[in-house]
């Protein structure tokens, strides 16, 4: 339960509010699940009972928002380490075909635990592999997220185009359209909570242009809008995908997706590396979002996302760690660091500032998920999703700019993390799960999955 009256005091506060205020020696008052006050002025009229949290030597930011992940991959890290995207997929699909509820629950605990310890308070997940004997896989990861206490936006993914039909996935992990749509409707009915302050919201997410049919894309878009939920898929990730869409559809990936109803302020795409100038303008005009995943993009040898151009055009852009099999560290704050480096490698030293990177990691991600009125900045009335980073140690001593310390320096220890006013990290320790035990379980599930695949 959230505790009314939590006072975080004497911290540097990076608000990411409308005016992008940065406050020194400031305090933030949490009342229940929301932020009740933000100020540098003397404190008056505190609640009768208040818990004091000393923010000396720390910087307080909004909780980070992860806009793209595949949590089940946490137990298949380190495989296909030197492959292209399509080679990587065809190597790993036969292994992923063996996942079940136990594997997914364990992987989700490990993956979400890592996210939280790198500043994440809200995460998505794109789960699209549903082996016939796997069980309730979406429920397994939802249970893991509830255990750890994050705000969760899982997507009910899908694939209906297998190897025999010209796709990449094996037959054992694809489903028919009717089965997929029924499962999507059921997932929304069982779990989606559209109310303000929601900890759990579902989106629909066919996997990619090369693993689903045109009919599935059209039907999924129609169903999502009928049910009032968001839509997500991979798009414009690699030159291979450009070639595939040109050969099969005679157009670019974005042109194809627009032809089947997949643009709008209820849609976000993962990666978005290959967009041309006119396509970036189209994304901005339709408020279609992009989850930028710089570490995964580099790990798989794809080209560098045009982040500066996307941001300048007004496209909603957030950050994502992507699946742990293509980003073995899966640390969300590190994506802000990599976003800066990749943008500058492509566009020069002024291509992306450290403050823009923090904005992408917080308010930008909230906008991509349609939650920017509730999370992503430190403002009165918003949900108390906050991270208190300890910059007092030797790794950050002498870095006067707290944003530069966060984005360019080492990932700091976390003195406290709150989700809706509930504290889930205290003194760099996740209090809701035993990460050592989770690590041992993940290692065992990794071995079991490989043995199962032969």
Residue 2 has pLDDT above 60, yes or no: no
Report the chain's mean pLDDT, rounded to a whole number: 95
The phi and psi torsions of 9 (rounded to 5 degrees) equal -130, 160
Query: Residue 205: CB partners within 8 Å, gap ≥ 6?
Result: 126, 128, 155, 156, 157, 158, 231, 232, 233
Q: How many angstroms separate the CA atoms of 371 and 107, rounded?
A: 26
pLDDT digits (tens, 9 = 90+) for 140-156: 999 999 999 999 999 99
Lowest mean pLDDT: which of 41-50, 94-103, 130-139?
Answer: 41-50
Share of the chain above pLDDT 90, in %: 91
Please tell me the predicted confidence (pLDDT) of residue 167: 76
Are the CB atoms for 192 and 153 separated by under 8 Å?
no
* 4 band by pLDDT with thresholds 50, 70 and 90: low
Q: Are the C-beta atoms of 59 and 407 separated by less than 8 Å?
A: no
CA distance 150 to 385: 9
The better pLDDT of the pair 88, 378 is held by: 378
Rounded Cα gap, residues 84 and 62, in angstroms: 35
Q: Write out the DSSP string of 169-233.
A: S-GGG---HHHHHHHHHHHHHHH---STT-SB--EEEE--TTTS-HHHHHHHHHHHHHHT-EEEE
Element spanning 269, H or E: strand 267-271
Instruction: Name the residue with higher pLDDT: 44 or 118.
Output: 118
Q: How far is CA 54 from CA 25, 34, 223, 281, 284, in A?
A: 11, 19, 48, 46, 42
Write down the pLDDT at residue 340: 98
Tell me whether strands 422-426 and 414-419 are parallel, antiparallel or unpaired.
Answer: antiparallel
DSSP code of residue 133: T
Q: Average pLDDT in the 377-387 region?
A: 98
Percent of the chain scoring above 70 in pLDDT = 99
**Least confidently predicted of 1-5, 37-41, 309-313:** 1-5
Summarised one tens digit per residue, pLDDT across range 243-287 is 999 999 999 999 999 999 999 999 999 999 999 999 999 999 999
Using alpha carbons, select from 143, 160, 174 the residue that is nearest to residue 213: 160
- Report the distance separating Cα 452 and Cα 346, nearest Å: 42
Question: Residues 15, 21: contact at Cβ < 8 Å?
Answer: yes
- Give mean pLDDT, residues 363-377: 98
The CA–CA distances, whole Å, from 285 to 217, 315, 373 equal 21, 8, 20
Residue 44 banded pLDDT, cuts 50, 70, 90: confident
Angle, in degrees to the nearest 10, between helices 137-148 and 101-116: 30
Name the pLDDT band for 1 (thresholds 50, 70, 90): very low
Contact 159, 184 (CB under 8 A): no
End-to-end CA distance of the chain: 45
Tell me how far the alpha carbon of residue 420 is from its chain's centroid: 18
Give the burial string for 129-146 (b: 16+ CB within 10 Å, else e).
Answer: bbbeebeebbbbbbebbe
- Banded pLDDT at 215 (limits 50, 70, 90): very high
Calpha distance 70→257 (Å, rounded): 22
pLDDT number for residue 86: 84
Cα 108 to its chain centre, rounded Å, is 13
Per-state percent for the chain, helix, strand, coil, to nearest 5: 40, 20, 40
**DSSP 8-state symbol, 163:** G
CA distance 29 to 6: 6
User: In angstroms, rounded to a whole number, what is the distance separating the alpha carbons of residues 27 and 37?
Assistant: 8
pLDDT in tens, 170-213: 888 899 999 999 999 999 999 999 999 999 999 999 999 989 99
Rg (alpha carbons) of the chain, rounded to whole number: 21
- What pLDDT does 85 receive? 82
| Average pLDDT over every residue of 38-47 | 83
Environment class of 69 (CB within 10 Å of its CB; exposed 0-12, middle 13-18, buried 19+): buried
- Residues 427-451 have pLDDT tens digits of 999 999 999 999 999 999 999 999 9
């Amino acid at each position: 339960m959230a505790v009314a009256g939590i006072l975080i005091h004497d911290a540097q506060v990076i608000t990411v509010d409308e005016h992008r205020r940065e406050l020194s020696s400031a305090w933030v008052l949490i009342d229940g699940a929301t932020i009740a006050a933000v100020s540098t002025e003397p404190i008056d009229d505190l609640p009768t009972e208040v818990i004091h949290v000393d923010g000396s030597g720390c910087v307080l930011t909004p909780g980070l928002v992860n806009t793209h992940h595949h949590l089940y991959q946490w137990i298949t890290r380190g495989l296909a380490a030197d492959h292209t995207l399509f080679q990587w997929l065809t190597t790993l699909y036969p292994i992923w075909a063996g996942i079940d509820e136990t594997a997914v629950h364990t992987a989700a605990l490990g993956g979400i635990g890592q996210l939280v310890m790198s500043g994440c308070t809200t995460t998505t997940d794109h789960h699209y592999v549903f082996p016939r004997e796997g069980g309730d896989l979406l429920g397994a990861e939802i249970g893991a997220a509830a255990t750890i206490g994050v705000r969760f936006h899982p997507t009910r993914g899908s694939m209906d185009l297998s190897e025999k039909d010209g796709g990449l996935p094996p037959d054992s992990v694809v489903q028919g359209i009717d089965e997929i749509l029924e499962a999507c409707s059921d997932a929304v009915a069982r779990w989606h909570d559209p109310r303000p302050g929601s900890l759990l919201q579902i989106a629909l997410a066919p996997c990619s242009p090369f693993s689903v049919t045109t009919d599935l894309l059209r039907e999924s878009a129609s169903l999502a809008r009928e049910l009032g939920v968001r839509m997500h898929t991979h798009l414009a990730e690699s030159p291979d995908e450009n070639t595939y869409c040109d050969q099969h559809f005679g157009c670019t990936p974005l042109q194809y997706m627009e032809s089947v109803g997949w643009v709008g302020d209820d849609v976000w795409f993962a990666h978005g590396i290959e967009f041309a100038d006119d396509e970036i303008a189209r994304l901005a005009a339709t408020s279609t979002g992009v989850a930028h995943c710089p570490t995964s993009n580099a790990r798989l040898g794809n080209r560098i996302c045009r982040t500066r151009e996307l941001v300048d055009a007004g496209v909603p852009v957030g950050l994502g760690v992507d699946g742990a099999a293509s980003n073995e560290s899966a640390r969300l704050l590190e994506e802000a660091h990599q976003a800066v480096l990749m943008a500058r490698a492509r566009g020069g030293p002024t291509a992306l500032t450290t403050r823009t990177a923090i904005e992408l990691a917080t308010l930008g991600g909230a906008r991509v998920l349609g939650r920017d009125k509730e999370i992503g900045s430190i403002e009165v009335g918003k949900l108390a999703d906050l991270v208190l980073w300890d910059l007092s140690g030797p790794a950050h001593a002498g870095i006067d700019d707290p944003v530069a310390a966060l984005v360019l320096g080492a990932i700091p220890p976390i003195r406290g993390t709150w989700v809706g006013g509930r504290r889930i990290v205290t003194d760099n320790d996740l209090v809701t799960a035993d990460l050592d035990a989770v690590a041992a379980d993940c290692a065992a599930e990794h071995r079991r999955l490989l043995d199962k695949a032969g």
